[in-house]
Each structure stands twice: as structure tokens, then as C-alpha cells.
Amino acid sequence: MKKAIVIFLLAVFGFFLAVTFLDPDFEAERNHNGVKNFYLDKTVSQLKTANTVTAIVVNFRGFDTLGEVTVLFLAATALGSILFKKRHHIGDRTVLMPASSIVSAGSKLIFPAIILLGAYVFIHGHLTPGGGFQGGTIIATGFLLMLIAYRDFSISHNVLSVIESFAGIGFVTFGLLGFMNGGTFLQNFMGTGVLNDLISGGVIPVIYILVGFKVAAELTGLIYTILHEKG
Amino acid sequence: MVGSPVLLIAIPLLAAFLIPLFGMVWKESVRIVPGLVLAYLTYLSASLYIEVINTDTIVEIIAGWRPPWGINLVFSPLTGFLTTIMTFMGFIVWLYSYRFKRNVEFEAAKKYFIFLMLLVAGSVGIVITGDIFNQFVFIEIVGISAYALTAFYTGRDSAEAAFKYLIMGSLSASALLIAIIIIYSQLGTLNMAEIAANIDNMNPYYRIIAMIFFIIGIGVEAEIFPLNGWAPDAYTEAPGPVGGAFSGIVAKAGIYAMVRMMFTLFDIAGPMKILIVIGLITLIVAETSALRQEKLKRMLAYSSIGQMGLVLVAFGMGTKAGVFAALFLMLNHAITKPMLFLSGSFLTFNTTEKYIKQITGMAKKMPVVSIIFVLGALAITGFPPFSGFWSKMAFLSAAADENLLFIMATILIISIFEVVYYFRVINRLFFFEYDDKISVEPHKPGFNGMIALFVLAFIVLMIGFYPSSVTGFIDLAADDLLNTHQYIDKVLQLGQTIIQ
Amino acid sequence: MKSLTFNEKLARFFINWLFLMIVWIAFTTSFNKQEVIAGVFVTMLISFFSIPLFTCCTFKILAPKRIFYMVYYLLIFIRELIKSNLDVARRVLTPSLPINPGIVKFKSKLPTDYSKMVLANSITLTPGTLSIDIIDDTFYIHWIDVKTTDPEEAYTEIAETFEKILLKIFV
Amino acid sequence: MNYLLFIIGFLLLVLIGTAVYAVRQRDLLYAVIATGVISLALTALFLVLQAPDVALTEAAIGVALTTIIFIITIRNTVRYEDEKDKK
Amino acid sequence: MDTTELIRIGVYGTSILLILIGLYAVLTKRSLIKIIIGLSIIDGGIHLLLIGIGYIKDGTAPIFSPGSENAVARMVDPVPQALVLTAIVIGFGVTAVALSLVIRLYRHHNTLKIDEIKNLKW
Amino acid sequence: MSIYEIIGGILILIGAVFLFLGGLGIYRMPDVYNRLQAGTKATTLGAMSLILGVGVVKMEDSWTWIVKMAIIIIFIAFSNPISSHALARAMYHRKRYPYIKGDAKDMDAYREVAGKDDPSDTSPDEGENI
Amino acid sequence: MTYIFYITIVLLSLGMIFSIIRFIKGPTAGDRTLALDTMTTLMVAGLVLLSAVFNRFIYVDVALIYGVLGFIGVIVIARYLEGAL
């Protein structure tokens, strides 16, 4: 009975959504060339950043990114707070049994390459797809591989939180530096260089690198916390 | 220029990232730094507010791109008014909980204060931002801090309340995103002023669909009727001061977002009636539920939801008097409800259930706290010499101007309900004998907590005896909200003066 | 983990640096001055922190003889890979599924984990065999078409060609 | 241009099918693996719709991180939606 | 009907279906983990919808790599992509918090069924 | 058609065929170990060949493609066997019985895996639901 | 060249369909994970092919990352099945 009601409600809801989005008018009445062309134009001419999405994420809508980083920070902190237990076993292992020697040898071998891949992704955030979030996530995934392949691989929570704090402070500080130099928060106050060079885009790659460090530290901490959770 | 609105967001975030570092060096700093930050925010927003009133609305652009393209923050008489209240209440809640968390471990205390600070910062962000997607991000910040704060205590049913809140919160965030998608695809912009200026170009059908999704999206924070199922549980299960923070800070931000959306974004006459309907339903359902609650905090939570409904009804009238009454009600509620929560949580200290019967006869053991509780109850039910009276009067006269007799009658009946359930508590508090078996163990309230309560009581009395001290501010704020064209001009004209 | 002498650390650091630099160049696919300089710094940092981790080989691996055997191994490996794929194709496409699977084991003489890993990977990718588990020196192999169950014969059949070359590379 | 239509249509079908499977499956582990497939199809779809940044994000988050947090939750709770599903 | 139109309808339709499937899971399923899977399916649908908004005929990614500088006219709208980027990361954070709450609930109630966890009224 | 396109096209086709066979293999084979055998081998070679083919086709324009393809090929050749080994080992530790034709009962190694005396009566898709 | 591309796409889709059938049929978690693994590899090949078709070199990064991370996802599930997590 409950299912029937739910399905009926969903049908109504879906009908409205379908009428909205599948209507040809929905495309026909669209009117948004201004923003897109402005962004594409200014990204090349002023910011000298090849990747427009990066330019939007870090510069035009940089405030969102600050909020987003904060959301991740909050999520990692909240995870620690929610799963908090009073007795804390120091000798807790993340995994119960050792992995096969092939898996552990392979992870050891591929781990630096994964970290390098992450670093590559966030250093080239303004040139190729990707950036701080993606790079940070890749690095965290690398740590995840090590954590599940080795029983005695441990990361210091303090180191993680120091990295995280410094990256976050760096982000806000760069924003405030723009505030002091150019007049607005997060303003691009550094020289922009030549399009498609590694050193271009002014403050954008710097902020994305900081975001990369921060996301990597946050996600690694998150995984580390949740892996230590034994039911 | 004393500072910039952007510091209202940047400073708490900076501090949140700094606190773990400070905590490694000096443990006490995790309690002190958030307080300093909140005090600074209160100072900053108050001084900005005064500046705004005397000169002109501040529109802060970010990253050097003018409004239609970049994100902008708007610090107007209205947002300044709300921001000042919210930061001040954040400071009060911090003050109250400063020693409250001393018996908790260091790690937990650190997290508690980070969440509290970011809750305030996120709510301020919701209010001052001028960009709908940015508002979504801030709603998520508020949301996650609120989930974490709700689930703060282990051993209660807090995780359940938080989970309920989370499900509703993320569904509503999805609805908000759909609304943003519709608006962006039709108008090609995310800036509120630009949307407001171009809303007439939008197909009315899509406009209504987008508006419905917006209402669903913001309704969870604003505690409107079908979406407020989380509120009573979350208020009950969260630590005492957090209930105050939810009702005094988060709900205000939600209401603001809703009203800004209705008045500025979708400036249509008809849907205003929606607000009245939603508000009335919320009000009636909440107040009748409050009548049969046995737990103190749950009762306060329902009362808080009811007040939000009242505010929405007042906004729904759409007139100057109505908006004035609504803002006045918001101010009152923002001060009185935290006062009730804070004193109530002193009265039921260290219990998990917080039944009303547990405070039987506590007035003799903790007279000062009890008197403050009564003061709050009287203020919120609208007894003459206190602040609530003036706001209810403003509300009734606004309704009378519009000849909304039905609403007036409803409000009067609801007020009787309120009186009944608050007096039930007061009766137990004062006119029953203290009983060891059911009542809680009285304890000595902390010094800081008492200061927080006294400050609130002082404000309630001050507004009660000199309502003219705040009506001027509220009047300006109401003008600001109603004047959509001025908002659009202020935001977009700025763009023409600072051209990249 | 036994502690390393300074020289060992240095050797590891430099070989890591070399390999990671090659990987970096492959990632960026550019010899632009800025990219290379950035790469030098980044890879230096990573190889410094991965000194205790990345232990596959020392500079010995760069001796010409070993490189020759590596290339030789690669060629044999590719031949076996293609053979194994044709084998899979034949089995999959034959309607009657001509398989006779089973699990056999044999002992290997390879010394380090890395060489065992290379052997196991090669076994997995060569005709009809899949390494299932390694316990100390014993390899457990799933064989799609069991010819023998004797460990010695299985060894000759499955692993001998690879292991001979691997011993020359890694020892 | 028709090949694009074919690829997109195929991926969309995979997406819907896997979503239905994930919702209907009573073994939570299988449902979690199905979310991995959803994320895979979404990644390809984002790339085809010319959003490599988003595809990268979806790939980086959907492949391992979402899986691990879901799996840890399953490990700490129960694997089946209903105890009687356990064979 | 031309190809772009068909692609668009397919993408929108699929996203709507995904949203509905996810909502169905959230509303009817009893297992908490299933509810969260439903939430992530909804998220996926919304992200797809948002990307579909930005797609244009013969589009290419808004990245000015060497060799594609003159493709500006064909570039798809970058704004929805930036929004989705933000939304994906936020969604991941919310999922992590939700799952940790599930672990807490299981610790407390020893069940995942939503109708057995009702100390509070739903 | 240049020589690059011809060679690259052939490589791509070979790769596509093997990838298809990999899919078919995991569909047709009777138990998880055999599926792993077919799946891993065919998809690894298929993906390598296809990616190499793309690199060769693009070699006409620039050398960058082939370098990046090479690194992808190395990663795939390295990681695919490891993941299937991990999977096989997981099955092995969960005592998943391999499918065996009637006459191969007397293998010691098999007993070590299956831990059961008479495996002949287990059909491939039965056993503990893992 | 176009025809080669079409044939390849069709073959990849067929391989994908067979993996999905295996994924749905099961019967064990190992089979499903194997299907996921196969699909990952197919997808890496497909992404490379697509970036060649769109003629954007930078798209290859997506395939690269998918290739590297896909195997970690499989190892995570395998480790869980092993009982090690």
C-alpha cells in the first residue's frame, strides 16, 4: 500500500520534471550567451588560464571553492566526532590480515607513481582537466591502497592536520592578499604569464595546489578514521 | 571603512583551519579562539551595520569580477540587521557553552567549537551572499555542522535525529540544485540581482516550478511545515546551547533565504499567498503539537517552529507593516528562544530525557535561572511589558490593516495555546514542591552561562520598555527588503562603475 | 624493517628520482623548461618521502647485461601473451568449452617479493594459468587445462622459462 | 554524428539498468558494486558530453573512495538488507 | 529530430529517471544503507542534468589546449561543469557523514532497519 | 590512408576483438577462476593493443600521444594481473570451489583449496554465497 | 578509419553487455567484481578511443586516471571479500 502511494507520488513528480525538462520550449527559450562567452573570453585574455573550468572554480567563483573545501574539512571533522570512542587502542590495525605478497609488493611499487599522478593532476590544473580536488582525491586513493595492503602502514594524524591547516590558511591568506593588493578578496594579483605555460594564470595554480594538499590531507584523514572503525 | 563583509566569512574559516594548529600548542585556545572570532564578528557586523545605515548599502565583489559574473556579497540594512543578530547570538551561545564543555575531552571540545563557529559563519554566508549557488554551498556548510552538532552526544538517540535531519537536508539540497538548474538554463545567470532583473523573461510555468523547488530546498532550514520533521528531534538531542543556536541562528538564515527568494527573485503577487498558507499550517500544526509534549526541549522546539510560521504569515502579507512585524518577530524570537533553551538546559542539567516533570519545584533551588526562564516565556507569549508584546501588536495591526480577520483570530487562539503550555511549565517550576524522586539534581550554574542569560534578559527588558530603540532599525530593514529595484540597481550598477 | 645506511638511502633516493622523472616526463609529454624544472622538484620531494617504500631495485638493475635480459624477457612475455590470448579465444569461441581446469602448485626459487610479483603477473597473463596464492615459496596456480599435477612437472611447464630469465635479472 | 547517439544511448541504458539493479538488489555489497558501475557509466558519459573535469572528479571519487566508505560501513553493520536474505 | 535534440532528451530523461529511482529507494527502502545509495543515485542524476544543460551541438571541452584555440564557438558552457565539480565533492562529504551516522546507529540499535529504529517518532 | 593509420587501425581492431572476447569469456566460462583467466588475459592484451593502436594512429601528428599511451599500457599491464590475483585469492580464502571435470579429483592442491573431500558433486555455481 | 571506429565501438559495447549480464547473473560477489574489473578495462580503452575521436589529447588524462584507480577499487572489494578489512 505504502509502495503504491509512493509510486503514485513519484509519477506525479516525474511528470512535472518531464514536462519541465523535456519540453522543446525549455531549450528554445534559453538565453544565456552572455556569461559563457564572457568567461571564455576573459579566461584567455586576462587570466591566461587554459582551462576555463579551473578559472571559474578558482577565480570567478573562488568563493564557492572556499566553501567547498570547508565542507570537506567539516565532513572529515564530523566523521571523527561522530565515530568518536573514548577508549582508543593505539595498536589498532587497519586491516585484519596481511595481503598477498603480490598485492603488497605491487602497491609499494605503484604508490609513488600514484602520488606523482596526483601531483601532476593538481599542478597542471590550469592546463589540463583536473585540479586540486581531483589530484587530492588521487593522492588519498594512493594512501588508501597502502593502508589496505599493509598492516603496519600508519599515518600521523597530527601531520595530516598540520598539512590541512596550513593549506587552508594558505588559501584564505591568498584571498586576503588579493584583498590587500587589488581591492577584492581572492583577486588575481600575480602576473599571469603566457597561455599554456606551466607558470601562467597568476594565483590560480597556487591556490589549486593548496587545495590539492588540503583535499589530500582531509580525505586521507577521513579514510584513516573510518578504516580504524571496528564494529 | 571598518572592514569588509567578506571578512565575516573569511575570518571564521581562517580560524577554523587554525584551531587544530593552536590546539596542538595550547589546549585552552580551542575554546578561546572561537569566542574571540565570534566577538570580532559581532563587532565587525555591528560597525558595518552602522556604517551601512548612515551611508549606503555595501556591495562587496569577490575576485574582482563585477556582479553578473563574479560572486558578490550584499550588506544592506536588512542583511546587516540579521547578521548582527546572528553573530551576537553566536557569541552568546559560545559564552554559555564555554565552560559547559569543560567536562568533555579535548578532541570533542575542539570539534564542538569548530562546528559552532562554522554554523554561525555559514548562516551569515546564507544571509549576505548575492549568488544562489553560493547560497547552496553555505546551506551545505550549515547542514553538515548541524548534523555533527546534533549527533554530538553519544549514548542518546542523537544519531537518529541527525540521520533524519541529514536525509531531509540532502533531499532538500537536491531540490535546491534542481531549482538552480532551471534558473540557470533559462536565464543564464546565478546572480540574484540579475535573476530578479530578468525574471520577467522567464516562462511563467518554469518560474513556478523553480519556485516550488526553491521552497522545498530552503524549507528545511526555515522549518516550514512538511519539512520540519527533523526539528523537534534535533533540538531535543543536540547539546543544550545548540538548540538555542539552531533556533536563533539557522532558522533565521533559512527564513531570510526564503523571503529574499519570494520578494526579490520571484517578485510575483500571487505566490505571496503561498507564504500565508504555509505559515498558517506550520503555525497551527506546531502549536497544537507543542501542547501535548512532555519533554521540555521538544516543546520549545515546536514553539520555535510555530514562531517561524508566524513570521512567514507576517511576511506573506507583503505590506510594509507586515514585513515590519515579521522582522520584529524574528528579532524577538532570535533573542528569546535561545534564552529559553539556555535557561531550560540549566534547569534540566545532565539529564538525557529532559521531561517537563523533571523540573518540578526547581524555582526554589535555582531561583535566578527560573526567573529568567519565566521572563523568556512571558516575552514569547506576548505579555505587555516585554518585547514580545510589541511585535505581536505590530503583527496584529498589520493584519488589521489588510482586514485579515481570519488570521487575527487564529493568532489570538494560538496565543492562548502558547500561554497554556508555557504556564504548564511555569506552574511546575514555581508552585510545586521540589521532589527528589522526579526532579533533577540542582547544580550551580556557571558564571559565564549566567552572564549570557543576564545579557539576554537585559535585552528583552530593554526592548520591552523602549521598543523605539529597535523599531528604527527594523523600519530601515523592512524598506530594504521591499525595495527590489533598489537592490537590483545597487548590485548591478556597481558593475558598471568598476569595469575590468 | 631494518634500518638503512646512509649510502643505501642515497642510492634508493636517486633511483627513485630517476624512475619518477621518467614517469613525470611521460605524464607531461613535454620537455619544456618549466615542466622539467617543476618535475625535478616534485619528483625529488616524492622520492625523498618514499625512501622506505620504494625498494624494488638498486642501481645494479641498470647494468647492460640485466637490461639485455629485461628486453629479452619482454619479448618472450609478449609472445606468450599473444599465445595465451589466442588460446583464450579458441577456448571461448569453441561451443563445447574445451577446458579441464584444476589447481596445481610448485615451488619457486626466486628471492624477493618483487621478482615473485613479476613472475606471478607473468603467469597470470600467459596461457591457461592464473596465480591464485603465494605462501612463502609455493605458488598455487589455477590451470585451465591441467596436464600434470606433479609440482616439478608443473614448474617446468609453467614457470621455468620466465624464472630462468628473472633469476638473471634480479639476482 | 550518429555514433555519439549510439554511445550515449548505450551508456544511458547501462545507467538506468544499474540504478534499478542497485535499488532492487537485497545484498548491499552487490548494490555498492553497482554504484561503482553507475559511477563508471557516468564518467564515460561526462567525457562524451565534453566535461573532462567532471569526468575526472567522478572517476577519482566514485571508483575507490565511495566504495571504501560504503564497504567499511557494511563491514561494521550487516551485509544484507534483511537477515533472512542471508543464505 | 536532429541528433543533438535526441541526445538532450535522452540525457534529461535519464537524469529524471535516476532522480525518481533514487527517490523511490529513499522513500520505500527500509535499510539505511539503501537509503544512502538512493541519495547518491539522486546526486548522480542531478549532476547529469546539470551537464546536459551545458551541452551544445558538436561541442568540445572549454579548455584551450594547443591546437584547439579556434574552437571557441564550439566550446560547451563551463559554468555547469564548475557547479557539478563543487556539487560532487559536497555530495561525497555528505555521504561520508551519513555513513558514519549509520555506523553509530548500528552500534546503538544493532539493526539497520528503519522501522526498528524509532525511539523518536518519524 | 597513411601507413600509421593502417598499422594503427589493425592494432585497434585486434584490441577490440580481444576486448570483446574478454567480455564473452567472462560470460561463457563456468566458474569464477576460469572467468578470471579469460577476463584478465583477453582484456589486458585487448586494451594494450587498442591503446597502442590509437597511439600509432596519432603518431603522424605528434609524438605526445604515443608516450602517454605507453604509460597507460604499462599501468594496465601492471595493475590488471594484480587485481585479478587479489580477486582470485579472495575467492580462494573464502573456499570457493573451482569447477572441475570428473577425472581430476585427486589433486592435493585442490584439496588444500576446497577443504572438502569429495568435490565432484559441487556444481560450479553453488556453494557458500560470497 | 571511420569504419574501424564503428566496428570497435560495437565490439566494445558487446563486451560491455556480456560483462553486465555476468554482473547481473552473478552468482558470487567475485563474479560481480570481476565484471566490474572487466568493465573498467573496457572503459579505459573506450575513453582512449573517444579522446582520439574527439581529437583532444588532454582527454587521455581521464583514461589514465581511470586505469590507475580502477584497480584500487577492485582490490578494495577483493580485500573485503578476503575478510581482511
Q: What is the mean pLDDT of chain B?
A: 85
Residues of E at the B interface, defined by Cβ within 8 angstroms: 19, 23, 26, 32, 35, 39, 42-43, 46, 49-50, 53, 79-80, 83, 86-87, 90, 93-94, 97-98, 101-102, 104-105, 108, 117-122
Residue A214 pLDDT exceeds 90: yes
- Best interface-test mutation with E: which of B142, B163, B164, B302 has the largest number of E CBs within 10 A? B163
- Restricting to B residues 178-197, those with a Cβ less than 8 Å away from any Cβ of A are 178, 182, 184-189
Q: What angle do CA B340, B345, B346 make, to 5 degrees?
A: 105
The Cα G59–Cα D44 span in angstroms is 11
More confident residue, B493 or B195: B195
Looking at beta carbons, which residues of chain C come within 8 Å of A195? none
pLDDT > 60? residue E76: yes
Domain count, chain E: 1
Residue E120, domain member (yes or no):
no
The answer to whether the CB of B318 falls within 8 A of the CB of B236 is no
CATH code of the domain in which E101 resides: 1.10.287.3510
Q: How many Å lie between the alpha carbon of G38 and the closest alpha carbon of chain E? A: 22
**CA distance to partner chain A, nearest, from residue C82 (Å):** 23
Residue C165, judged by CB atoms within 10 A of its CB (0-12, 13-18, 19+), counts as middle
Range(s) of the domain holding residue F89: 3-118
The strand order across the sheet containing C138-143 reads C102-107, C138-143, C129-135
> Is residue E64 classed as helix, strand or coil in its secondary structure?
coil
Q: Which residue of F has its CA nearest to C102?
A: F100
A186 closest CA partner among A164, A165, A208: A208
- Whole-angstrom Cα distance, residue B488 to residue A162? 43
Q: Is there a contact between A50 and E100 if contact means CB atoms under 8 Å apart? A: no
Interface test with E, best of D2, D32, D50, D68 (most E CBs within 10 A): D50
Tell me the range of A181-185, B383-387, D13-17 where mean pLDDT is highest.
D13-17
Q: Quickly tell me which residue has 506552574 as its cell.
A: B427
Confidence of residue A231 (pLDDT cuts 50, 70, 90): low
Residue A21 CA from chain centroid, whole number: 30
Determine how many CB atoms are found less than 10 A away from the CB of residue E66: 13
G 44-73 residues with CB below 8 A of E?
54, 56-59
For testing contact with chain G, the best of D14, D47, D72 (most G CBs within 10 A): D47
Q: State yes or no: pLDDT of A132 exceeds 80.
A: yes
Residues F86, A110: C-beta atoms closer than 8 Å: no
How close is the nearest chain E Cα to the Cα of G53, in Å? Answer: 12
Helices (H), A22-61: 24-28, 33-42, 52-55
G69 touches chain F (CB under 8 A): no
Low-confidence residues of chain C: pLDDT under 50: 1
**Whether B143 contacts B169, CB under 8 Å:** yes
| pLDDT surpasses 80 at B114 | yes
Average pLDDT over residues A222-226: 87
pLDDT of residue F122: 44
Cα atoms found within 13 Å of the Cα of residue A54, Cβ hemisphere only: 36
**Residue A104 corresponds to which cell in the numbers above?**
603488497
Give the tens place of pLDDT for each residue, F85-104: 998 888 887 777 777 665 54
Which amino acid belongs to residue C83? K
> Number of folded domains in chain F?
1
- Taking an 8 Å cut-off on Cβ atoms, the answer to whether A100 and F89 are in contact is yes
Q: From the CA of G11, how many Å to the nearest CA of chain A?
A: 28
Give me E82's grid cell.
Answer: 564548475
pLDDT at E109 exceeding the cut of 70: yes
Rounding to the nearest 10 degrees, give the CA dihedral for residues C85, C90, C96, C99.
-40
CA angle, E2 then E4 then E8, to 5°? 120
What ipTM goes with this model?
0.93
Quick check: is E52 in a domain? yes
Question: Look-up: residue for cell 581529437?
Answer: G55
* A→G interface, C-beta within 8 Å: 95-99, 103, 107, 110, 113-114, 117, 121, 127-130, 134, 138, 141, 144-145, 148-149, 227
Angle at the Cα of B266 from the Cα atoms of B261 and B269, rounded to 5 degrees: 115
Q: Do A22 and E89 touch (CB under 8 A)?
A: no
pLDDT digits (tens, 9 = 90+) for B43-92: 999 999 998 888 888 888 888 787 778 888 888 889 999 999 999 999 99
> Is chain G touching chain E, with at least 3 CB–CB pairs below 8 Å?
yes
The least confident of B312-316, D28-32, E111-115 is E111-115
CB contact (8 A) between residue E61 and residue G57: no
User: DSSP string spanning D13-52?
Assistant: HHHHHHHHHHHH-SBHHHHHHHHHHHHHHHHHHHHHTT-H
Cβ-contact G22, F29 below 8 angstroms: no
Hey, are the CB atoms on A100 and C133 less than 8 Å from each other? yes
Q: List the single residue in G65, G75, G84 with the smallest CB-CB distance to A138.
A: G65
Report the chain A residue with the minimal C-alpha distance to residue B190: A35
CB atoms near residue B455 (< 10 Å): 16
Q: How confident is the model at residue E98 (pLDDT cuts 50, 70, 90)?
A: very high
From the list G58, G59, G79, which residue is nearest A148 (CB)? G79
Pick from A21, A129, A215: CB nearest E16: A21
Q: For every residue of chain B, which 3-state class applies, written as one string? A: CCCCCHHHHHHHHHHHHHHHHHHHHCCCHHHHHHHHHHHHHHHHHHHHHHHHHHCCCEEEEECCCCCCCCCEEEECHHHHHHHHHHHHHHHHHHHHHHHHCCCCCHHHHHHHHHHHHHHHHHHHHHHHECEHHHHHHHHHHHHHHHHHHHCCCCCCCHHHHHHHHHHHHHHHHHHHHHHHHHHHHHHCCCEHHHHHHHHHHCCHHHHHHHHHHHHHHHHHHHCCHHHCCHHHHHHHHCCHHHHHHHHHHHHHHHHHHHHHHHHHHCCCCCCHHHHHHHHHHHHHHHHHHHHCCCEHHHHHHHHHHHHHHHHHHHHHCCCHHHHHHHHHHHHHHHHHHHHHHHHHHHHCCCCCCCEHHHHCCHHHHCHHHHHHHHHHHHHHHCCCCCHHHHHHHHHHHHHHHCCCHHHHHHHHHHHHHHHHHHHHHHHHHHHCCCCCCCCCCCCCCCHHHHHHHHHHHHHHHHHHHCCHHHHHHHHHHHHHHHCHHHHHHHHHHHHHHCCC
Q: How far apart are CA B298 and CA B179, in angstroms?
A: 32
Which residues in chain F are closer than 8 Å to G12, comparing Cβ atoms?
16, 19-20
Interface contact B162, partner E, CB < 8 A: yes
Question: For chain G, how many structural domains are there in total?
Answer: 1
Tell whether B204 is within 8 A of chain A (Cβ): no
CA dist C115 and C137 (Å) reads 12
Decide if B135 touches A, using CB distance below 8 A.
no
Assess G60–F contact: CB distance below 8 Å, yes or no. yes
Does the structure show a pLDDT above 60 at F36? yes
